Every structure is written in structure tokens, then in C-alpha cells.
């Protein structure tokens, strides 16, 4: 049997630079000895104890250094805006404070509403998979020396040997009101933080937990809004001869955009997009009500888009007088490749194909709810075989950060640049346009984005 290793005392990782204003430690005093010219047998002089003021100065310097380190690490945490990023920052800062190379956070909010996840620092996906097989109670317990731990779970010992760690320090993540999870830092050799560093990591985690709790609420709110919006929109797109449909919808914090595609009598198809003013759950609910009402009007009189939008405007004025909305409704006849549409304050559709990429000519009209009685003439045009009609909400243009004229020009350029090999798939066309118009992270605004593509054969 191997003799247990004496546990080491872990400290702050030396890779974290100390504050520039930290007072350096005083050099050790030389040992006292007899003077060189003293007669033989003369006893050495008695060492004078260090002045109390010097000890106090060193202690204050240590406190200032600790507070500065905690302040810098807490500032880094507060600059994070996503839960995953914040957990990674917590592990990185904690590893520096306790002198560990690796660690993980088991995130499981105590209210059971999720999300539940495990985030690692210095651990690969396979490593996290092995750690998931260790009983949770054994993994989330501090152990200064796993080899010397009596009654260690055999699976824990096996995983520790495989991953090469010999000790762990676990700290719960919690606020005054809720438990959030547990953070564990792993040491390559038997080790444990001393009382001073346990105090530092405790203070840091108390501040970090409050920030993590706020990010958790933000993430839950966004997920709730996205779920609510998704439930108010079509669960699937219809399949009709002569037309292929695809849609891309990205929910923003404000909400309020909708789209629809529904089969109509005589093998026709109704397409609509729109947006209501305001934001939040109220705007999402209002968009759902308008979409449901427009479906009913489209079934009854879809061949006349002006009548459909006129009825919708009357309903909006009577039921929600404080709101206005933009809308576009298109009555499509795939067999004849003919489209009749009307718009109320909405951006015109974009037609793109091998021979042309241009905006459909629509009449200028105010949004619904802005005039005492809305009415605008409809327009009719034909689509060439293989052309795709793009219907979109203004959020797509606003997220570019450009003026509306420049954003429209960029949208047309994105449609022109679609490769020929992709033009037969409306989903690929929509993806290319989004990737070109909004490269990288598209969250440059709080607007919804809707892009509905209809390719006619």
C-alpha cells in the first residue's frame, strides 16, 4: 500500500499578476553574530524585534492586495452577459484563487426549473463525460488526498486515476434566496487551500453568485419569450404543387413579429408577414391575435388582399386602439405563378432569380391603426419559373445597423450573390441571405427577424 501523501497548501496561482501597488515583502534580517573586532567569548548582540508599525504596514499591504485582486476578478465577472461565459469566467478566476489547474461547475438550480449543465475548465468533453459517471455526492465533496480517503467510491478513484487528479476543493454556489449549483477545482497532487484562500474564494463566489442569478433570470425570460412566440406561429409550412416554402425566424427580446402560410381554396396559397408596435409579452400576444384573425379573413376573402387588410385594420382599431401594426398579405396562385398583394406600411417583397433581383412595386400606405379608415390599392405581378419571393419584416433591415435605404440595398446585394447551385432550395437561399446580411452574431438589436422564402416552379 502506498503511504498517503502529505497534503499541500494551495495558494493563488502565480500566473495571476499581483497588483502594481502591492508593497514588496521586507528582506529577511541577517543573523546576528559577534562583531568582527570583539574579543573572544563575547556573546552575540540580541536581535531587536521588528517594530509594530512595520508589521501593521505589511498586513495592510496584504489586505490591499487581496481586495484589489477580488475587485479585478469581480469586474471581469460583471462584464459577462451570457450564462455560459460567466461560468467559464468563474472557473478561471477560482482556479487562480485556489491554485488549481482544472475545475468544473455542476449547474443545477434548486428550484428545478433548469437549465441544468456542466461546464469545465481545462477539461475536454470526454473528461466531463467520465466525471458525469462519478456519483454526484462523491464528486462534489472536498477531498485533500483521494488516495488516503477512506471509503472512496471505486468509480471516483478510477476516474481520478484516468484524468490524473489527486484532490478536489468543492464550494457551493448560492445566493441568500436560491441554490444554483456547485463549483469544484481539481489538483494534480494532494493539496487544499489554506484558511486565507478559502476566505478569498468564498468572498468572490458570493459576489459571482448574485451575478449568475441575474443571468439565469435573463436566460429563462428569453427562453420563455422564444417558446411563447414559437407557439403562436405555424408549427409547419404547407406543401402545395408548384411552390416550395422555407422560413427563418430569429426571436429578439422585444418580439411582436409574425408570419403565416396557409392553403386556400382553388389550390391557392396565402402568405403574410407583419409586426406590431411595442415590445414584450404584450406585443407577442397581440401579434398572435392578429395572425389568427388574418387567417380567418384570408379563408373568407383571400383573393382580395385589400379586403383582408381592411378587416384586420378595423379589428385592430376596435380591440387594441393603442397599437398599430405593419402587415403584408399575398394571395398566390402557384399554377399560374401569379401573386396579388397588399401592404400596410410594410417593406415590399424581393424577387430574385437567374435573370433579375428586384423589389416588387407596391403602393405606399400607412400602417394599420394609423388612419381612421385604411385602404390602399393592391398590386399584381407574375413570377418567372425558378424565381424566389422573399417576404421579411423590418427587423431584418434594422438589425444591420444601417439606414433603411442602405439596408434595402444590402439585402438586394445579398440576394444577387446567392450561388446558382443554391437557388433551387428556398431554405438555402434564406440561409445565404441571412449569413451575408447579418454575418456572425446577429444580435445587434432587439428586433425580431422573419424571412419567408417562396420558390415557384
| Predicted confidence (pLDDT) per residue in 140-182, tens digit | 999 999 888 888 899 999 999 999 999 999 999 999 999 999 9
Give the residue, 313 or 373, on which the prediction is more confident.
313
Domain contains 15: no
Q: Which residue do the cell numbers 385594420 mark?
A: 313
CATH code, domain with 313: 3.60.40.10
CATH code, domain with 153: 3.30.450.40
| Same domain as 314, residue 373 | yes
pLDDT at 41: 56
| Same domain as 264, residue 158 | no
Q: Does residue 353 carry a pLDDT above 50? A: yes
| Same domain as 257, residue 198 | no
| Same domain as 213, residue 287 | no
Of 23-32, 177-186, 235-244, 423-432, where does mean pLDDT reach its minimum?
23-32
Boundary residue ending a domain (178, 204, 225): 225
pLDDT at 19: 38
| Same domain as 170, residue 94 | yes
Tell me the pLDDT band of 244, cut-offs 50, 70 and 90. Answer: very high
Domain limits at 182? 65-225
Tell me the pLDDT band of 82, cut-offs 50, 70 and 90. Answer: very high
Domain contains 44: no
| Same domain as 305, residue 217 | no
Percent of the chain residues topping a pLDDT of 90? 60
Domain contains 1: no
Give the residue, 323 or 62, on which the prediction is more confident.
323
| Same domain as 420, residue 296 | yes
Of 8-17, 282-291, 297-306, where does mean pLDDT reach its minimum?
8-17
pLDDT tens across 93-116, in order?
A: 999 999 999 999 999 999 988 899
Are 418 and 235 in contact by the 8 Å Cβ rule? The answer is no
> Rounded to an integer, what distance in angstroms lies between the CA atom of residue 363 and that of residue 348?
9
> Rounded to an integer, what distance in angstroms lies between the CA atom of residue 78 and that of residue 90?
11
What's the whole-number mean pLDDT along residues 348-364? 89
> Rounded to an integer, what distance in angstroms lies between the CA atom of residue 102 and that of residue 295?
56
Q: Which residue do the cell numbers 490591499 mark?
A: 64
Domain contains 298: yes
Boundary residue ending a domain (225, 248, 281): 225
pLDDT at 36: 52
Instruction: Count how many domains the chain has.
Output: 2
Amino acid at each position: 500500500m502506498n503511504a498517503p501523501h502529505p497534503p499541500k497548501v494551495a495558494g493563488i496561482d502565480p500566473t495571476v499578476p499581483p497588483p502594481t501597488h502591492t508593497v514588496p515583502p521586507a528582506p529577511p534580517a541577517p543573523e546576528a553574530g559577534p562583531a568582527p573586532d570583539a574579543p573572544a567569548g563575547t556573546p552575540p548582540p540580541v536581535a531587536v524585534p521588528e517594530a509594530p508599525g512595520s508589521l501593521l504596514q505589511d498586513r495592510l499591504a496584504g489586505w490591499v492586495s487581496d481586495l484589489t485582486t477580488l475587485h479585478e476578478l469581480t469586474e471581469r465577472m460583471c462584464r459577462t452577459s451570457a450564462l455560459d461565459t460567466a461560468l467559464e469566467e468563474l472557473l478561471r478566476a477560482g482556479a487562480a484563487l485556489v491554485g488549481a489547474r482544472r475545475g468544473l461547475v455542476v449547474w443545477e438550480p434548486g428550484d428545478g426549473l433548469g437549465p441544468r449543465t456542466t461546464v469545465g475548465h481545462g477539461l475536454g468533453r470526454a473528461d466531463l463525460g467520465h466525471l458525469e459517471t462519478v456519483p454526484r455526492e462523491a464528486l462534489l465533496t472536498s477531498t485533500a488526498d483521494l488516495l488516503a480517503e477512506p471509503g472512496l467510491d471505486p468509480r471516483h478513484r478510477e476516474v481520478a486515476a484516468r484524468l490524473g487528479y489527486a484532490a478536489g476543493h468543492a464550494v457551493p454556489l448560492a445566493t441568500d434566496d436560491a441554490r444554483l449549483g456547485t463549483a469544484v477545482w481539481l489538483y494534480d497532487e494532494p493539496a487544499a487551500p489554506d484558511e486565507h484562500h478559502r476566505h478569498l474564494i468564498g468572498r468572490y463566489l458570493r459576489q459571482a453568485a448574485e451575478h449568475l442569478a441575474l443571468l439565469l433570470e435573463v436566460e429563462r425570460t428569453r427562453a420563455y419569450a422564444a417558446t411563447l412566440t414559437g407557439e403562436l406561429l405555424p408549427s409547419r409550412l404547407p406543401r402545395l404543387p408548384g411552390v416550395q416554402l422555407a422560413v427563418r425566424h430569429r426571436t429578439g427580446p422585444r418580439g411582436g413579429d409574425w408570419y403565416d402560410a396557409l392553403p386556400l381554396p382553388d389550390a391557392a396559397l396565402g402568405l403574410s408577414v407583419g409586426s406590431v408596435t411595442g415590445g414584450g409579452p404584450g406585443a407577442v400576444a397581440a401579434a398572435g391575435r392578429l395572425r389568427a384573425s388574418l387567417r380567418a379573413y384570408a379563408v373568407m376573402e383571400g383573393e382580395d388582399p385589400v379586403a383582408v387588410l381592411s378587416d384586420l385594420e378595423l379589428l385592430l382599431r376596435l380591440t387594441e386602439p393603442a397599437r398599430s401594426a405593419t402587415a403584408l398579405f399575398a394571395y398566390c396562385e402557384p399554377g399560374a405563378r401569379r401573386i396579388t398583394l397588399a401592404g400596410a406600411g410594410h417593406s415590399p417583397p424581393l424577387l430574385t432569380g437567374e435573370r433579375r433581383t428586384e423589389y416588387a412595386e407596391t403602393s405606399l400606405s400607412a400602417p394599420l391603426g394609423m388612419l381612421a379608415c385604411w385602404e390602399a390599392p393592391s398590386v399584381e405581378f407574375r413570377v418567372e419559373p425558378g424565381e424566389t419571393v422573399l417576404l421579411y419584416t423590418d427587423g431584418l433591415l434594422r438589425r444591420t445597423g444601417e439606414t433603411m435605404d442602405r439596408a434595402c440595398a444590402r439585402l438586394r446585394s445579398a440576394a444577387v450573390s446567392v450561388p446558382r447551385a443554391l437557388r433551387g432550395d428556398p431554405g438555402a437561399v434564406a440561409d445565404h441571405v441571412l449569413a451575408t446580411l447579418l454575418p456572425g452574431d446577429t444580435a445587434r438589436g432587439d428586433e425580431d427577424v422573419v424571412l419567408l422564402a417562396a420558390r415557384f416552379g
